[in-house]
Structure 1
C-alpha cells in the first residue's frame, strides 16, 4: 500500500520530534537568558489591559506605562481600576484612564473601543488578562459560576480580539497578548472548567497566529500567549493550595516579576512565554508519555494532599 505525500510528511514529522523537543528547550533557555533586550518600542502606543484593577493586570499596566505606553485600565471593579490609574499617574508621564466594562458582552466591548479612541486614541496593544480562577465550591460549583468563568476566561478573548484587531489592521501594526495558564498545558484536578477555558485560549491564539500570517496586511500584528503557574497575586488560591498541600507542587511566582517577563517577551515578539521558563517544554514532553502512566502519576500526586485536608468531602 502506497503512502500519500501527507502521510509521509506526518511520519517524518513524528521521527524528528525528539530533535524539535530539544530545540524547544534550548529556545526557552535562550529567550530567558540570552536574547537581547527591547527589540521594539511601544512608547506612545495605546494599550488595553483587561482585569487591570489588581494583581497581575495592575503589574502589567505599570510595566507598560514604564515603557511609555498609554494605558486603558479595564475592570469590572471600577474602584480598583482607578487605583491602578492613580499609581501610573504617580510614577509615569503617560495618559491613562479607568473603564468599567463587562468584557463578556460584545456590544460593551464595541462601546469600550469607541470611548477609548475618543479619550486616548486607537488602541494597538491588547492584553487579555481578566480571568476567574476558582469557584466558591470546588466540588459542586453553581452553574451560573461555571458560565461566568467560561464567558470571562474565553469568550471575552474572542470579542476583544474581534473589536481591537480592526484598529491594528487600520494602522498596520499591533500586538495581542493572552494570559493563559499552565492549566492550558496540562490538567489540574478539580479544575476541569478552568482548564477547559485555558485550553480554549491556547487553541484560539494558536489559530489566530496562522490567520494573521495568511493576511499580508497583518504581518506586523504579533501575538504572545503566556503560560504562568500560580502567582502570589491571589491570596485565596494560595490558601487553597496550602490547605491541600499543593504549594509544594507549584512554583509560586511573583506577579511583578511575571509582568516584567511578559512585557519583555512582548517587546521581543516572543510567541509563547512559560513562567517558569521550562514549563512549556516540560508539559509538551510528558504528552508523549503513555496516557495511563501520566494520569496515574498526576492523580496520585494531587490526591495525597486532598486526602489530608479534605478527606471527609472526598468520601
Structure 2
C-alpha cells in the first residue's frame, strides 16, 4: 500500500512539473506571437454575483471595454451600488436586477425580463457563489443545500435560460468561475470544495 502511495505521489509531482513547463513554453510562445485580443464592445455580458468581489470587478472591467453589462445579485443594495459605480465612470449601458440564482423560476423570470429590456445575453459569467467555513457536523442541512444550489445547481438554470439563444445565433461565450479549492482541500471545505470541483466538470460536459 505504501509503494502505491509513493507511485501516486510521484505521478502527481510529474504532472505538476509537466503543467509548469507547458505554461512556461505557452507564455514564451505568446510573447513571440501575441494572441489578438477579442473585442467585447457591444456584447451583452451578464454576471451573477455582481454585487461584490470578483463579480463587481468583472462588471466594472467589462463596462470599461464597451460591453453592455447586466448585473445579477441577490443583494439588491450591493448590486445597485455596482451599477452606480459603473455609471459614475461614464458608462450608462449597465443594468441591475435582483435575482436569486438558486431559484429556478426566478432565474427564468428575470432572464425573460433581461431579454425584453436589454436583449440577448452573449456572454454569461456564472460567478455567484457562497461558502460556509464550518466543520461538516456543524453545518445545518439548509446551509449544505443552499451551498450546493448556489454553487452548482444555479449554473444549470442560467445555462438553460441563456444557452439556447447563443446556439441559435451561433454566437456567445460562457464563463464559469470556480476556485483553487476545486483542486486542493481547504479546511472546513466539506461542501465548498466539492461544489467548486463540480463547476469545471459541468462546463466540460455541456453539449
TM-score, length-normalised on structure 2? Answer: 0.84
| 1:78 alignment partner, one of 76, 79, 84 | 76
Corresponding residue of 1:106 = 104
Residues 179, 113 of structure 1: alpha-carbon distance in 2 compared, 3 angstrom cutoff: same
Aligned twin of 2:205: 207
Q: CA deviation at 1:93?
A: 2.8
Alignment CA distance shift 1:193-1:28 (3 Å): farther
Larger Rg: 1
Deviations 1:2-24 (A, max 9, x none): xxxxxxxxxxxxxx979953553
Distance 2:180 2:24 in 1: 19
Instruction: Answer whether contact 1:68 1:94 (CA < 8 A) is retained.
Output: no
3-state SS, counterpart of residue 191 of structure 1: coil
Describe the SS at the equivalent of 1:130.
coil
Partner of residue 143 from structure 1, selected from 130, 141, 144:
141
Which whole-Å deviations, capped at 9, do the CAs of 1:124-143 have from their partners, x for residues lacking one?
111111101224x4451111
Which portions of structure 1, spanning 4 or more consecutive aligned residues, are displaced by more than 2 angstroms? Answer: 16-38
Residue of structure 2 aligned with 1:46, choices 40, 44, 47 = 44
1:66 deviates by 0.7
Q: State how far apart, in whole Å, the 2-side matches of 1:31 and 1:185 are.
A: 27
Q: Any residues of structure 2 matched to 1:168-183 within 5 Å, and which?
A: 168-183=166-181
Count of aligned positions: 193
- 2:131: which partner in 1? 133
Distance 1:186 1:73, change over 3 A: same
Cα RMSD after superposing both structures: 2.5
Give 1:177 deviation, angstroms: 0.8
Aligned equivalents of 1:67 and 1:158: distance in 2? Answer: 28
CA separation in 1, counterparts of 2:30 and 2:83?
30
Corresponding position of 1:229: none
Asked if the contact 1:65–1:92 (Cα under 8 Å) also holds between the matched residues in 2, the reply is no
Structure 2 equivalent of residue 154 of structure 1: 152
